[in-house]
Amino acid sequence: MASAEEATAPPVAAVDQLPPGQNVSSTVVELAGWVVSSKDNQGYPFAVIDKAAAQVLVFGGDGRLRGAAPGLFGSAIGDHSAPGVAGLALREIPGRDRTTPAGRFVGGYGPSVDAGRVLWVDYDSAVSIHPTATGVPAEKRAKRLASPSPDDNRITHGCINVAPEFYEQVVRPTFERGGVFYILPDEASIAETFPEFAQSRAIGQNGLTH
């Protein structure tokens, strides 16, 4: 689904929509650095997504930050998608199964059954990134995104939501030809979720070389 070639769209200046005073975790910084140094993204644009902090950081294939913004995630805590969840209508997904899976995913734009062309993070589990919609006013998704706390950002059925302007300015042009998505876990360990990164970090911390 992805192409290693950079999108032909003009370069996008880094956009910072994170709440004032909200820091990016050292794990996110280290993971992004490892992706670039190890070329794990294979030249694709990539995103590092921190569910706990409700942050989405988008990088070009050259490793330069293109934007950072808050995101909305699955209302259920968990790092795996339930079997068969991709075949269910949104209203049919049990509350316990509304998770955003963790891990490394290669995705890109493709068709969907009911939403037209969408940016799939993981097609098999029907997880995509899309702009917030106003379909259910009671969910107050725009207000949740604007909140300085990440505690109210768990509301979706599993997909990742960002503000419409961030989607149009950063996400769409960056991933027009696909990319790689690294989603940090809620409960699983970093070693389980990103074993090669964890091994590299352990070697660095121990001062070992090969």
pTM score of the predicted model: 0.87
Whether residue 96 has pLDDT greater than 90? no
Range with the poorest average pLDDT among 46-55, 67-76, 101-110, 133-142: 133-142
Any residues with CB less than 8 A from the CB of 146 and at least 6 apart, and which? 70
Range with the poorest average pLDDT among 96-100, 121-125, 139-143, 162-166: 96-100
**pLDDT attached to residue 80:** 87
Look at the chain and count its residues.
210
**94 — pLDDT class (breaks 50, 70, 90):** low
Q: What is the pLDDT of residues 7-20, one digit of tens each?
A: 445 555 689 999 98
Radius of gyration of the chain (CA): 16
The neighbouring-strand residues paired with 179 are 107
3-state secondary structure of 92: helix
Phi-psi region of 43 (alpha: psi -120 to 50; beta: other; left: phi over 0): left
**pLDDT attached to residue 134:** 63
15-206 CATH choice from 3.30.1480.10, 3.40.50.10860, 1.20.1440.120, 2.40.440.10:
2.40.440.10
**CB–CB of 43/209 below 8 Å?**
no
